Amino acid sequence: MQNPTITIQKTELLSNNHYILNKVTFDYKKSTEDSETQTREVYDRGNGAVILLYNTSQKTVILTRQFRLPTYLNNNTTGMLIEACAGMLDEDNPIDCIIRETEEETGYRLSTVKKIFQSYMSPGAVTEILHFFIGEYSPKMKISNGGGLEEEHEHIEVLEYSFDKAYQMIASGEITDAKTIMLLQYAKINLPL
């Protein structure tokens, strides 16, 4: 860390169950040369990757639907969320991760993907960087039903929509996941769908 206006005073571990939650106390030097002490809780869940699977000739995309407890606790009445395929990097690099996750979640085996950008998704509280990819699929790439891994308690429904239908689902409120919205907007601008 190389920002001379920030001095980390202490880091306290609050939780280390599935991911890590720390309480960080730091000094922030203001432009007036005065410093102020601030405290923030920072959630470290690792970094991830996400992909929009698209088919140019059919003008379709593959998305997934699964239960997401945090959304259920925050007014999503069913807790079900439509999303682009995604996963945590764990020990993989972003490309290997997203190829693995695509096969596990959707049943499509990709050989190539294209990274389009990366983003901090909630920088006020979460350390995660998400690597965004696109990948073209065809029916011949389907090797299983997908659905996720049983040992990870995943119960994922694989969805195929026309691109136009998926894009309209943003405005209708059927797609509310930020990473998915970002990928669909990227596709609207950059892909021949």
Q: What is the predicted pLDDT for the residue at 49?
A: 98
Would the pLDDT of 47 be above 90? yes
Residue 140 main-chain phi, psi, to 5 deg: -70, -15
Distance CA 61, CA 99 (A): 16
Percent of the chain with pLDDT over 90: 88
Model pLDDT for residues 24-46, shown as the tens digit of each residue: 999 999 887 788 999 999 999 99
| pTM, two decimal places | 0.93
141 secondary structure, DSSP code? G
The answer to whether 50 and 130 have CB atoms below 8 angstroms apart is yes
The reported pLDDT for the residue numbered 126 is 96
DSSP 41-108: EEEE---EEEEEEEETTTTEEEEEEEE-HHHHHTT-SS-EEEE-EEEE-TTS-HHHHHHHHHHHHH-B
Q: pLDDT by residue (tens digit) across 99-148? A: 999 999 999 999 999 999 999 999 999 999 999 999 999 999 999 999 88
Residues pairing with 193 in the sheet: none
Does 52 score more than 90 pLDDT? Answer: yes
Query: 163-171 and 178-190 helices cross at what angle (nearest 10)?
Result: 130
Task: List Cα–Cα distances, 135 to 18, 50, 120, in angstroms.
Answer: 30, 10, 21
